[in-house]
Amino acid sequence: MKKDISEIIEVTPGVSVDLKSDQITMKSNGKEVIKKFLENDRIKISLEGNQIKISSKKATKRELKLVNSLISHIKNILAGLKEEYKYTLEICNVHFPTTVKVDGDKLKIKNFLGEKIDRVAQILPNVKAVVKGTSIEVTSPDVEAAGQTAANFEIATKIRNRDRRVFQDGIFITSKPGRRVD
Q: Rounded distance, CA 162 to CA 15, Å?
A: 50
pLDDT in tens, 14-52: 899 998 878 899 999 889 999 998 877 788 888 888 899
What are the boundaries of each domain within the chain? 3-82, 85-180
| 3-82: CATH number | 3.90.930.12
Residue 1 has pLDDT above 70, yes or no: no
- Please report the pLDDT score of residue 29 as a whole number: 87
* CATH fold for domain 85-180: Outer Surface Protein A; domain 3 (3.90.930)
The model's confidence at residue 182, banded by pLDDT at 50, 70 and 90, is low
Domains 3-82 and 85-180 share a fold: yes
pLDDT in tens, 76-135: 999 999 999 999 999 998 878 999 999 999 999 999 988 899 999 999 999 999 999 999
CA-CA-CA-CA torsion for 180, 105, 143, 17, nearest 10 degrees? Answer: 150
Query: What DSSP line would sit under 127-168, residue for residue?
Result: -EEEEETTEEEEEES-HHHHHHHHHHHHHHT---SS-TTT--
- Please report the pLDDT score of residue 109 as a whole number: 94
